[in-house]
Amino acid sequence: MRKLFISAFLLFAGMAVTAQNIELTPIFGYSFAGKVNNYGRYFDVKDDMLYGGLLSVQFDDFMYVELSYERNDTKGSTYLETIDMAVEHYQVGFLREFAEGKVVPFAKVSLGTSRYVQKSGGDERVWLFSGGFGAGAKLLLSDRVGLRLFTNLMLPLEFDGAGFWCGIGGGGGGCSGGVSFNVPIVHWDLGAGLIIRLQN
């Protein structure tokens, strides 16, 4: 997964050559995490502070492609124990602005991966495919500096299964297939960041 994230970063570096704007945004906030309580499992991820950063590259009017990293160091509880752990989200997404001026509302969608790392009592690491939805506003203080206020829903996905089948009936034949996922836990993030805009 790290190789994929590095490849995405290099792709962003290539896009930056022709970008209209580039924004670097360190972020800080708070993550409200849920709990897994299905299929006989119980695991509660505690709410905690988050930090990370965003690299946003404008490729068209009002449109950005965005590379993001978020992490929170927290605790997780089962019925039997509580452990120290970290939750990380690596995402590539698209951001759409809805206005020009000093206050710029936006919405975004992203796809990537989430990693859950045990830091005490073991060394278990779990990677899950994940997606995110977000919204917020940029408060531009100057041509180069601004504030970003945001909220995100991060949705890690567990693969349930896949199927492929074909059949022939009185009305003809056909084939179909499907893949199913479930969302074991939801992370709701609120935060702010300092926008540093690099203009060409």
pLDDT at residue number 38: 65
Give CA angle at 183 (124, 177), nearest 5°: 110
More confident residue, 167 or 103: 103
The string of pLDDT tens digits covering residues 98-111 is 999 999 999 999 99
* Residue 143 clears pLDDT 70, i.e. is over it: yes
Strand partners, 146: 140, 195
With a CB cutoff of 8 Å and minimum separation 6, the contacts of 158 are: 128, 181, 182, 183, 184
Instruction: Give CA separation, 173 vs 84, 160, 163, 165, 178, in Å.
Output: 54, 27, 17, 11, 17
More confident residue, 149 or 162: 149
The string of pLDDT tens digits covering residues 16-70 is 555 678 999 999 999 999 888 766 678 889 999 999 999 999 988 899 999 999 9
Give CA angle at 154 (70, 115), nearest 5°: 55
Tokens of 63: 């449109």
Give CA angle at 25 (106, 69), nearest 5°: 90
pTM confidence score? 0.81
Instruction: Give CA separation, 156 vs 66, 181, 197, in Å.
Output: 19, 10, 30
pLDDT at residue number 179: 45
pLDDT class of 169 with cuts at 50, 70, 90: low
More confident residue, 165 or 188: 188
The domain made up of 2-199 is a member of CATH 2.40.160.20: yes
* Residue 194 clears pLDDT 60, i.e. is over it: yes
The string of pLDDT tens digits covering residues 73-101 is 999 888 888 889 999 999 999 999 999 99
